[in-house]
A and B are shown apart, each in its own frame.
Chain A
């Protein structure tokens, strides 16, 4: 698994491996792909310490694509695996460059 590290104050380039390991993700949503360069106007990018909880990735993807409705169900998938929001990226062995899918479920009538 390729792992980058977040820069910290003493090592802004992250070259000495002092920060926590990070990975860069791609997240496909029904409103488009979220990546390190898409969409252009995104105010945040999917680069995370591997200890980040899945729920944070879901929340950030929702923010980027303005999925503001709280009563909808948002689920992050890796392949067919449903990722528990309370668990961390590393606990699912999600690798750098992984493509995840955010599903959005409307209400039931």
Chain B
């Protein structure tokens, strides 16, 4: 099952207005310059507590039916998913091990065989369901800001 790209793009853009407001207040850099029907990606720059910068790519094919693939990338986006690009404190795979990240699902090579992509909005444990792009950004913002150093 897949979602037409124009539907995904509209869903993403409608949510990004709120994400932009949150990012501006939080001092995060939201870059939507590459977002298009042919490239359903946007990027956010975060900082950890030592002011080290981390770059996250949101690849949103089939959003909102399925969660985005959320991955740490290099500033120029030529490298992705290496331990060096991750802050300390994330899953050592390395992976952002949350239901909102498609990479965390075993069918996408991740550690979780017990999750279904269609259920991505469900809470992890007894916490809040991270079910919007802004909540995903806020979850990452909180975790990265409390982190110090890189995974490798």
- Chain B: CB-nearest residue to A68: B128
Cα–Cα, bound, A4→B25 (Å): 24
Q: Interface residue count for B (Cβ, 8 Å)?
A: 36
Count the A-B residue pairs with Cβ separation under 8 angstroms: how many?
A: 91
B146 close to A (CB within 8 Å): yes
Decide if B112 touches A30 in the complex (CB within 8 Å): no
**Bitwise interface map of A from 12 to 36 toward B, beta carbon under 8 Å scored 1, else 0:** 0000000000000000111111000
**Bitwise interface map of B from 59 to 92 toward A, beta carbon under 8 Å scored 1, else 0:** 0000000000000000000000000000000010
A67 close to B (CB within 8 Å): yes
Residues in A with CB closer than 8 Å to B132 are 30
- The smallest C-beta distance from B90 to any residue of chain A, in angstroms, reads 9
| Residues in chain B within 8 A of chain A (CB atoms) | 18, 21-22, 25-27, 47, 49, 51, 91, 97-100, 104, 111-112, 123-130, 132, 134-135, 137-139, 141-143, 145-146
4 more contacts with CB within 8 A, not counting A109-B99, A109-B112, are A80-B27, A82-B146, A106-B127, A109-B104
